[in-house]
Structure 1
Amino acid sequence: MSEDRSVLSRAARGPDEELRYGDDADQVIDYWHAKEYRPLVVFVHGGFWRPKYDRTHARPLGEALSDLGWPVLSLEYRREPGDPDVTTTDVRTALEALPDLVDVHAGYVLMGHSAGGQLALWAAATLNPVRLRGLIALAPVADLLMADRMDLDGGAVQAFIGTGVRNDLDPVHLPASIAPVSLIHGTGDTIVPISVTESYFTAHPTAHFIRAQDCGHYQLIDPLTEPFHDVTAELTRLTG
């Protein structure tokens, strides 16, 4: 199927606040408020860990979830090819800083798309964040070795990790998260094939796996599409 990328450049309402968790230009968080008192959604954007893809393409998602009643934090992080530890350090630092930046008493759901799904799965498995209610991984790069063998996005995995193998960053090789994990992946995804998430599910069968029929890669973060309802339904299930 042809992948619809229109959400990546669609105009959306900007965040209500911009929060900082460090001094670098990329150590910033977009924050959309919500009228309801609900658990936060902490979103980690994708883009195959490449510098040219930043958090701005997730603004339609942030706006939509905020309008539906969830406060949303969209994390930016440094993306330096060959230095994955810079990226994971930023994700760790941002999550640890949350209680100093916002009210987290209602807890939060960690959500990541594509490469952001890998980062979210890594964080939930290795950091055990305080007040994490659950994790939703959308079309995640959940098996780095398989994604590397597939040469996704023209060598994105090797560009991210440098060279060799980093099982310590690979969700399929990490322990299962203590918090509940939901996996949502489109059967028509040609950017990150669903077999990558199926590999993770084989290793961690306690996860909740939703196969979104006839859904591509970007529809899961596009509020104008039918598969986005799978995302909001899982958020509702995890946040009550």
Structure 2
Amino acid sequence: MKLLALLSLLFFFEELSADITDQRVNFNDVLELEVGDPDAVVRYGDVEQLFGELWLPNQPSRGLVVFVHGGCWLNHFDVRHSRPLAHALSENGFTVWSLEYRRLGDPGGGFPGTFEDIDLATSSLHKLSEHGVDADLITIAGHSAGGHLALWAAARFPDRFTGVVGLAAITDLEAYAAGDSPCEQAAVTLMGGTPNQQSLRYQAHSPGRMKIHPNTQLVQGKQDTIVPAFQTEALALNPERIKFTKGGHFDVIHPDTSDFGVMLRTIGDSFQ
């Protein structure tokens, strides 16, 4: 069974890699960007994956961004691909704590462990004070599957955050799980079944089914084929709270794109 599961995962990753390269900016473009190391690594739990990379600005901080990376909730994709974004945010005056967490393929990853990790991380922000971080203004942001987790956390624990920004975020988990792409089917694995099989779990963990944080904003690429633009509709936001960009799925996390500039402005607005 373990060998069969491993072979299935390898095939899954091959399919996903093909899926993510058909974009204006692809995943490898992001990985190939060279940035330095984070200023510190701050643990929020004893399990290997429970840490966040801390990036500090070289000026008075404009606020703390807690960032949740994406990657279809899979441990094949880790926090390292968020480094270009985190570094660029810090260069623009933000403090960034970019979270790692248990994902599918990790012991305890999936439901409920993945959600428990995001809860634990965002209730552990006091640990950042050891590095001189003032966490009075806090925006949680995330990309793709990480956007889903960020929106969920802000809806579930609204008092912890000043605002939330979803970047190409999965807002309607039930609709996403109904798709047949590898990433969409990962949602079924995450939740331990289909929406019909685990209806209560989906209702409690899909942002589109929850009372969202009052300061919620989305940034969505019109050419995104991994998280389609219709995913922005589930939250019923006022149009001014949704910024549509020209790019695909990864443009918004690549600092050399115009989409990234839209993201920067949206992050800044989230603290107001």
Q: Tell whether the 8 Å contact from 2:140 to 2:164 is kept in structure 1 after alignment.
A: yes
Q: Which residue of 2 aligns with 1:176?
A: 212
Corresponding residue SS for 2:252: helix
1:47 pairs with 2:71: yes
Q: Tell whether the 8 Å contact from 1:98 to 1:104 is kept in structure 2 after alignment.
A: no
Please state which structure has a larger fraction of its residues in helix.
2
Aligned length: 235
1:164 pairs with 2:194: yes
Q: Which residue of 2 aligns with 1:233?
A: 265
**Bigger Cα displacement from structure 2, 189-198 vs 48-57:** 189-198
Q: Deviations over 1:213-239 (max 9, x none)?
A: x21000011101111010111122223
Q: Tell whether the 8 Å contact from 1:110 to 1:120 is kept in structure 2 after alignment.
A: yes
Counterpart selection for 2:114 from 66, 87, 103: 87
- Provide structure 1 residue ranges, at least 5 long, that are not aligned to the other structure: none
Counterpart selection for 1:153 from 175, 178, 182: 182
Distance in 1 separating the partners of 2:65 and 2:174: 29
Q: Which residue of 2 aligns with 1:2?
A: 22
Counterpart selection for 2:144 from 89, 111, 114: 114
Amino acid at match of 1:137: G
Q: Deviations over 1:156-193 (max 9, x none)?
A: 21121111322211111111214x00111001001111
**1:55 positional shift:** 0.6
CA RMSD between the two structures: 1.8
**Bigger Cα displacement from structure 2, 230-239 vs 24-33:** 230-239
Distance in 2 separating the partners of 1:172 and 1:114: 15
**1:100 positional shift:** 2.9
Q: Deviations over 1:56-76 (max 9, x none)?
A: 000000111111111111011
1:98 pairs with 2:125: yes
**1:145 positional shift:** 1.1
Distance in 2 separating the partners of 1:209 and 1:40: 21
Q: Which residue of 2 aligns with 1:218?
A: 250
**1:10 positional shift:** 2.5
**1:206 positional shift:** 8.0
**1:51 positional shift:** 1.1
Distance in 2 separating the partners of 1:188 and 1:206: 19
1:71 pairs with 2:95: yes
The change in CA–CA distance for 1:129 and 1:152 in structure 2 (over 3 A counts) is: farther
The change in CA–CA distance for 1:207 and 1:226 in structure 2 (over 3 A counts) is: closer
* TM-score normalised per structure 2: 0.81
Q: Percent identity?
A: 33
**1:207 positional shift:** 7.5
Amino acid at match of 1:168: A
Counterpart selection for 2:166 from 128, 134, 137: 137
- Provide structure 2 residue ranges, at least 5 long, that are not aligned to the other structure: 1-20, 196-201
Q: Tell whether the 8 Å contact from 2:69 to 2:143 is kept in structure 1 after alignment.
A: yes
Q: Which residue of 2 aligns with 1:208?
A: 241
